[in-house]
Amino acid sequence: MSIRAVYIIPSEDAEIPIFCKYFPSVEVRCKSRFGQFYVKIPSEREFVKLLFIETGIKNGDVFVEERDNCEKEFSNPAFQLKTDFGILWPVIKIQHKKLIYCAITFEENFKINQQSGSMKLAFMASVTTCLEALNGLSQHVDNCTTSQEKIDRVELLRYVNCAFPYGRPVCCNPSVALNFSSTSWKGKVKQPAWNPLQYRGKSQVIFSIKEEIRCIQCNQSKNANPIDICGTVTCTSDVEGVSPEISVVLTNLHENKCGLLVNACVTSVETISASSTRLRFHPIKSQNLCLYKMKTVFPPPIIATFCMKVKEDIADITFKLKLQSGVRNGFQKLEAHIPLNCLITAVKPKCSQGSLTVASKNKLIWNIGTKLPSKTLEATLHAKAKLKRVLEKSSEQTITDSYFVDKEKQIVNANALSETVKTEYATVIFKILDYVYSGFKIDPQFVIVSTSSKVNRSVSCECYSGVYKIWNENTENVIDDLLEEQFERVLECN
């Protein structure tokens, strides 16, 4: 359960990591254990190159035999990197906000001459431990940096040495790990490791609910359009006491706790009623307390239709959206994005409200505003856009072939744009503050802190769109209605 090396790499155009830390004592153990089968860690540059090819960040649009081979064992998020010294395995990768967090682990349970990749991930404790360590690292980078250029290498080293000294995760929550070095203790009560620095002051507990709605709307689907409603509850707390405990009641969790996952700090999950659950947990400065997922099928909060037809070089676009009654009609942001695989040279919009702009020459953004008309709860866009074909130079052509590329342009331009311009879907992006669509709720009155009766409690919430795709009416049905039916049939047959 040790990490040999950890890297942070920008997800695009990087040649070397922006941060890298090796653990020499783990490396010595690894070398001693595997002897002639030991695989050395390549240089940083080489590592990034191999990782990018393996994960498709480089050569992501072409076939790479080493990566795409049918027989290759699929073990993501653990990767095998074929280096000059042998196969490096397992290399764990997660991606978070344009940064790749990556680690090479040392799996003590490997047999010395075990073939790389032959051991299942399910038998490797190091993989799950490493994933949590990388997750903690990504949170730390999130908390203390605003951009990848400003990453403080020495500060990160300090975090790494607190969170996983010797490559062994001891505390991956950034707020706890960094406090640990300044911990002091006085008293006769056992101080938990999750609360190394006692807070002195007025207790306060802040809950933040962020609900994400994902939806795919396709008019041709026989069944209801797929929708996912899920949320994350974050708790930020400053609570007095050596070993405090907070109790909170979650309400309107339809079907009770079935869709509930909690942080490891939660000590008990207790059902109070059909739709209420009480959680007791150890407060940590800042943490994701729980994740919920609504299992009840909800109708989409915004129902939309999108239709785009291209005749010659003119695209005729119609976009309609309607807010479900009961949904808060007040948005921080409400936009519809229509991406096109060609250049937009001119656009003639006619929208019932808001404005239409062209972004990056190939995307129409309809900014609808903050509120829909109260009576109709609807907005409509009709637009005509003049299009021009984008020509990508064939990778096969060389500079000396430019003459032929020009010829190709002539031929392709002769083809009707209507055949080449395809926009399968548009997306709706929205954010509503102080509102959750599912009705999920935390009542501040029911937040109890074991060590203090006077506590400032507050709950904030917001609701935003995740993947919210509206398929073009002219595109084939993308939702597989029959899959579940077919599965039932297999079970029935047997």
Partner 1 sequence: MCDSEYLTILDDITLFCPGFVPEATSDIHCILDQLLKSLVEDESSAPKKLNLIYFLELKSNILCEEIGDVELVLATLKNVCNSSSGNQALLGQCLISSTTILLESSEKFLGAEFDRLFSQHVNLLLDYVNQSNCSENVYVRSVSADSLIEVELCYPLVLKPCLENIYALTVKELSAAHQQYTSLLSLMMKHSSASSQFGSPLWNTYPQLVFKSKFLGENNSAVVSSVYSNTQLVSFLVDQLPFCNPEGVVWIANHIIGMLLHNTELRASCRVLKPFFFSCVYTFNCAIFYLLLYLEKVFGRELFEEEEHNLLLRQLLLNCNHPSLSNSFQLVYLELLSDYLGRMCHQLKCIEDIRMVLTNNFDGPDIQLKKFILFSHILKHKNGSSKFLLQITNKIRREIKHNKGFKCKSVFIKALYKLLSDYEDVSHEEVSRLVVLASTEDISTTPFIVHFVRQVQTSFPASPLPALILTSLVNTYTQPNEHLSLEALSFVIDIFQEAVSNRCSIEGLKSILIYLYRHILCGVICKSLSWSLGHKMLKLCYFMMKEYNTTNFFYELSNVLQGFISKCENDDVQDRAQLYFCLLQSLSDKKLKAVLQGPRQTLPLTDDSTFHSQFYFQKLDKPILYLCKENQSTSSDETFKYIVESEEDIITAYKNFIEASSSCKKLVLKISIKLSQEYENLDCLEALAIFMESSENWGKVEPVLVGHYKEDNLSVHQSNDFVYTMICYPHYPLPTQLKVRAEFSLDNICHICPLSPFAIEFFDFFCVLPICGDDVKMEFFFEDLWKTIEDEFQSVVLLECSEVQARAFVKQKFNTFIVGENDKGYHVGIYLPPGNHLLMRYYFQSSKTIVKFVTDYIYVLSWTNALFKEFA
* Interface with partner 1 in residues 407-466 (CB under 8 A): 407-408, 410-412, 415-416, 419-420, 424-425, 466
d(CA 322, CA 305): 9
Read off the tokens for 123.
């038998």
Stretch that binds partner 1, among 171-179, 200-208, 351-359, 427-435 (CB under 8 A): 171-179
d(CA 114, CA 265): 37
Among candidates 239, 241, 243, 240, which has minimal Cα distance to 192? 243
Minimum distance from CB of 94 to partner 1 (Å)? 4
Does position 222 interact with partner 1 (CB under 8 A)? The reply is: no
Tell me the CA end-to-end span of the chain in Å, nearest whole number.
Answer: 42
Does position 248 interact with partner 1 (CB under 8 A)? The reply is: no
- Per CB under 8 A, contacts with partner 1 among 43-82 are 56, 59-65, 67-72, 74-77
Minimum distance from CB of 104 to partner 1 (Å)? 15
Stretch that binds partner 1, among 21-29, 311-319, 330-338, 373-381 (CB under 8 A): 21-29
Sign of the alpha-carbon torsion through 3, 9, 11, 16: negative
Q: Any residues with CB less than 8 A from the CB of 197 and at least 6 apart, and which?
A: 179, 180, 182, 183, 184
CB closer to partner 1, 190 vs 454: 190
Q: For residue 381, count other CB atoms closer than 10 A to its CB.
A: 23
Does position 311 interact with partner 1 (CB under 8 A)? The reply is: no
Does position 399 interact with partner 1 (CB under 8 A)? The reply is: no
Instruction: Provide φ and ψ at 444, rounded to 5°.
Output: -60, -25
β-strand partners of 302:
323
Stretch that binds partner 1, among 366-374, 380-388, 389-397, 437-445 (CB under 8 A): 389-397
CB closer to partner 1, 350 vs 480: 480
Selected binder of partner 1 within 15, 45, 115, 123 (CB under 8 A) = 123
Selected binder of partner 1 within 6, 7, 10, 27 (CB under 8 A) = 27
Read off the tokens for 66.
């080493």
CB closer to partner 1, 291 vs 347: 291
Q: Any residues with CB less than 8 A from the CB of 351 and at least 6 apart, and which?
A: 366, 379, 380, 381, 382, 383
Does position 13 interact with partner 1 (CB under 8 A)? The reply is: no
> Binding-site residue total for partner 1 (CB under 8 A)?
140
CB 323 within 8 A of CB 467: no
Cis peptide before 90 (omega within 30 of 0): yes
Selected binder of partner 1 within 104, 260, 383, 436 (CB under 8 A) = 260
CB closer to partner 1, 96 vs 441: 96
Does position 291 interact with partner 1 (CB under 8 A)? The reply is: yes
Q: Which amino acid is at 343?
A: L
Read off the tokens for 446.
């029911």
Minimum distance from CB of 344 to partner 1 (Å)? 19
**DSSP 8-state secondary structure symbol assigned to residue 450:** T
Minimum distance from CB of 292 to partner 1 (Å)? 8
CB closer to partner 1, 212 vs 335: 212
- Give me Rg for the CA atoms of the chain: 27
CB 305 within 8 A of CB 470: yes
Selected binder of partner 1 within 151, 307, 433, 479 (CB under 8 A) = 479
Stretch that binds partner 1, among 3-11, 173-181, 326-334, 377-385 (CB under 8 A): 173-181
Helix (H) or strand (E) holding 381: strand 378-389
Stretch that binds partner 1, among 164-172, 318-326, 349-357, 443-451 (CB under 8 A): 164-172
d(CA 265, CA 250): 16
Determine whether 284 is exposed, middle or buried from the number of CB atoms within 10 Å of its CB (0-12, 13-18, 19+).
buried
Output helix, strand, coil percentages for the chain, rounded to the nearest 5.
25, 40, 40
Selected binder of partner 1 within 49, 82, 96, 337 (CB under 8 A) = 96
Does position 182 interact with partner 1 (CB under 8 A)? The reply is: yes
Stretch that binds partner 1, among 210-218, 326-334, 357-365, 432-440 (CB under 8 A): 210-218
Q: For residue 78, count other CB atoms closer than 10 A to its CB.
A: 21
CB closer to partner 1, 157 vs 272: 157
d(CA 333, CA 431): 5
Minimum distance from CB of 373 to partner 1 (Å)? 31
Selected binder of partner 1 within 45, 111, 192, 346 (CB under 8 A) = 192
- Per CB under 8 A, contacts with partner 1 among 261-290 are 261-269
Does position 230 interact with partner 1 (CB under 8 A)? The reply is: yes
Minimum distance from CB of 9 to partner 1 (Å)? 15
